[in-house]
Amino acid sequence: MLTSTRILLIIGGGIAAFKSLDLIRRLRERGAAVTPVLTRAGTEFVTPLSVSALAGHKVFQHLFDLTDESDMGHIELSRSADLIVVAPATADLMAKMAGGQADDLASTLLLATDTPVLIAPAMNVRMWEHPATQRNIATLKDDGILFVGPNDGDMACGEHGPGRMSEPLEIVAAIEAALAGQETGVKGPMAGRHVLVTSGPTHEPIDPVRYIANRSSGAQGSAIGAALAALGATVTFITGPADVPPPAGVKVVRVETAQQMQAAVNAALPADAAVFAAAVADWRVASAGTSKIKKQDGALPVLEFAENPDILAQVAQMRAGRPGLVVGFAAETDDVLANATAKRARKGCDWIVANDVSAQTGIMGGAENAVTLITAEGAQSWPRMGKDAVARQLASRIAEALTGAQ
């Protein structure tokens, strides 16, 4: 139920706007109060009259509408909701949000607010896949904007693919989840704690077009970032080029190389805890140049390597400003327990999460993980479970260690 929840619903200009009429009905059925905002393009698809009739509330349309300003200024309007929902969120509206533009009521409200924002994108598949839109999506996710959809399917324009706006009931479910997340965020045991998480592989350049990488997908790191954020932590998520998107609601810092990751970690300190889930390359090519290495008759290139900084060891061994809890991972293929226990001592971290990444386990790049948590008290093996479940269990152990909360 959404009893006494205040939703500011921004309806953008797309054919999916007709579904927003049903969304209003569904929200009101659940007890939410809906304040509608219609963009100029939105009025081409639904009328202000039908929106206000369904919402049982006046529709806000114009930035310089004096009556609106005297009723309630746009700043106040943007902050008077528990959640701002943009449905449909068009490519244009997303571009405005990503660029911080404020040239109409909807974009001004979105820029002026510190209320959480959930968007339901809807657009033609080519527009969704365009690099400009993909860039904007990444920016918006980095800014902590929550997404629902789009779905794959047939579109009004006759094409097929991602771009269909989520169905009203899917949007309602996402609204409920966003509000629940907010609640745990405010009341969670990790509220007010800063946790730094590294994730994904690193890419070490050989030359401008080639690099050395590893099979890490970033799935376990992303799940840990999400689980910590769900407990209310402020998370700085430093990620190499991963396959899995970063979690919502965290500060994302994207890097490529181990050296960049180290710089980003140092810039993000201080932290109450640090979790090093990244699969950092141990070596980089010493002489990676700015010119592409060309084939030469018969002569094979020889790469020389230099050792990368050990980020985990550097942070774990800090004399001043060390995070209260430093957690490392040990990806091993042989003698997992012995190697991981030795690694904990060598690197100086408090905990090591050890896992067997031999090819037959399917863990690296897979959805499941089987870990052993090694602390000063000893080793505890957890049953094989989804990476999300491992992340939740680890996050609650971290919360317990930092705050005494279960």
Residues that bind ligand CTP (CB under 6 A): 198, 258, 276, 278, 280, 282, 308-312, 328-331
- The CA R_g of the chain, rounded to the nearest whole Å, is 24
> Minimum Å distance from CB 190 to ligand CTP?
20
Facing residues of 327 across strands? 275, 351
> Minimum Å distance from CB 253 to ligand CTP?
15
Nearest to 24 by CA among 14, 16, 33: 33
Nearest to 359 by CA among 334, 326, 389, 380: 334
Instruction: Give the amino acid at 123.
Output: M
Residue 367 Ramachandran class (φ > 0 left, ψ -120 to 50 alpha, else beta): alpha
* CB nearer ligand CTP, residue 211 or residue 329: 329
> Minimum Å distance from CB 384 to ligand CTP?
19
* CB nearer ligand CTP, residue 252 or residue 330: 330
> Minimum Å distance from CB 228 to ligand CTP?
16
Active-site annotation holds for 349:
no
Write down the catalytic residue from 157, 180, 267, 367.
157
300 to each of 12, 103, 297, 344, how far by Cα in Å? 58, 58, 8, 39
> Minimum Å distance from CB 334 to ligand CTP?
10
What token pair was written down for 173? 């479910």
* CB nearer ligand CTP, residue 181 or residue 201: 201
* CB nearer ligand CTP, residue 10 or residue 315: 315
* CB nearer ligand CTP, residue 53 or residue 306: 306
Q: Could you list the active site residues?
A: 157
